[in-house]
Structure 1
Amino acid sequence: MTSKIPPSFFVLLPSSLVTDASDLRQKTLKIGSIGRVLAMFRVGKVCIYYDDDSHLKNQASEVEVISTLLRYMETPQYLRKLLFPRTKELRYAGLLPPLRTPHHPLADEKTSPGDYREAVVVDAGKRGSLLELGIRERGFTSEKLNVGERVTVRLGKSLGEGKRAIERVHRSEVGEYWGYEVLRAKTLAEALKVLKADYIIGTSRYGKNLYEAVQAIRSSNPRSVAV
């Protein structure tokens, strides 16, 4: 008997998410807590959409703060300096809690052949590409990649001269929770189209009680659920 594959879990967040916070420091703390929850529940995608809130003066700025901090949290620490320039949104990034997810290994973790790591391309030419792996060796592949691109790789054997053979893979091949992807949308309707979830759970006085709908959701065996 084969076990059912659990559905992918998506979350939609409005641009008004942290409007109740008095300043950037408080917003950072609140978003940090949200990022931890996203990782705890193994959310695969989070989409931030522009909210119809008359009290929100600058939606673009709010979306930028939320998305930047969530992406920063999801990125392994050894890659952050390569991917994030200093910006005002990251002023209090030091207050963000660590996720401690499988793709955020400690210095002595996931360093053997066959292990997976996140990497960033630091150099590329005719002979191939060099990648930062967060270990003593740089990753090398004969595939020409784009400098600055973040990729998931499988570690191979050591090549000597400070290089390690790597193979680029899709994160779905890893077999364990590998972080969340941050998306943006102009409206809630657009966000739902972007996520393409089989089941959507929202709040409305016209909707069914969630507990009444649980059985129907389970029996349909959805591949993805958006909340």
Structure 2
Amino acid sequence: MKLSIAIPDSSLKDENKHENKTRKIFQIARAAGIFQIKDIIIYKDGREFENDSKLLSTILRYLETPQHFRKRLYPKSGLLQFVGALSPIKMPNQTGTSDAKQVKKGDIREGVIFPKDGKKFIDIGIDYSVPYYGKKQIDKRTIIKIKETFPNFTVYDIEKNQIPNFWSYNVRHGGSLFSLLTEWKGPKILTSRKSKKIKDEEIQKILSSKEEILIVFGTTDKGIHEMLDKKISKIQNFKAWNFFPHQGTETVRLEEAILGCLSIINAHTFNK
């Protein structure tokens, strides 16, 4: 089962300070890592949130990037001024030994290409310069598999979809909520306070799907029903559920909703 989530570009609207926005994005990234989310899709809310949208995608991508080569890809920027206080997400692409002698044949690592003495090498987070003979250009990221180990490292490129297990999330921008939902081929779960509570048989049917499942979250001031209005009748292959039917607060914040909904879905998936 593969899960992706969709969040609005107005996700940071309820935070005024840059530091608080950064912390909110970190919580979203952590939830995506914990529950092995394939894609985080940022859809347009119908209004202009260009600055927040850029901040949201930039920090999400920064947090997904392995720590050992972040500085190579992300120069100092006002957008990233508070990320230094954040803990690593520690997804599989960010773990692994830094000791070259402990790297094993068949290990998968992620790195960035850099030049040295007129040749190309790849930084995979170890205390050794690994020669790179692939097609990727300088300063480009790539995922590699170890063919030969220390001290005569040889590696070769692989694609993310060749890795059988979760590696890291992807971040991409989508269009409007309606266009995203109509173009998505697999099942869709809409999270809404105005919907009915989850029925076991319905959620089990969706979670048993072989297609990728999209979980959609609303904005800070409008739910899915308000955003779609009458257009919701044109959406196919979806279920809308209230994941917090007896909530004790006036609202559930986006980062809380993501963590809570994914926790519930995870429980239904593995506690059959």
Same fold (TM over 0.5): yes
- Deviations 1:201-221 (CA, angstroms, capped at 9, x unpaired): 1135886654252133145x2
> Moved runs in structure 1, 4+ residues, more than 3 A?
106-110, 189-194, 203-210
Change (3 A) 1:104 1:52: same
- What are the residue-to-residue correspondences of 1:90-105 with 2, within 5 Å? 90-105=80-95
1:32 aligns with: 26
Change (3 A) 1:191 1:140: farther
Q: Equivalents in 1 of 2:129, 2:135: separation in Å?
A: 15
Q: Equivalents in 2 of 1:225, 1:80: separation in Å?
A: 30
What's the CA shift for 1:65? Answer: 0.6
User: Sequence identity, in percent?
Assistant: 25
2:213 aligns with: 225
- What are the residue-to-residue correspondences of 1:40-189 with 2, within 5 Å? 40-53=34-47, 58-108=48-98, 111-123=103-115, 129-158=120-149, 160=151, 164-189=153-178
Q: Equivalents in 2 of 1:122, 1:191: separation in Å?
A: 37
* Length-normalised TM-score, structure 2: 0.69
What's the CA shift for 1:120? Answer: 0.8
Give the 3-state SS of the residue equivalent to 1:183 in structure 2.
Answer: strand
- Write 1 or 2 for the structure with the bigger share of helix: 2
Give the paired residue count: 212
Give the 3-state SS of the residue equivalent to 1:30 in structure 2.
Answer: helix
CA RMSD of aligned residues (A): 2.7
1:8 aligns with: 2
Change (3 A) 1:218 1:69: closer
Give the 3-state SS of the residue equivalent to 2:146 in structure 1.
Answer: strand
Question: What is the one-letter code of the residue matched to 1:120?
Answer: V
What's the CA shift for 1:172? Answer: 2.8
- 5+ residue gaps, structure 2: 216-272
Q: Equivalents in 2 of 1:171, 1:178: separation in Å?
A: 7
- Deviations 1:88-146 (CA, angstroms, capped at 9, x unpaired): 11000012222122211254477222111111111399x97421111122333432322
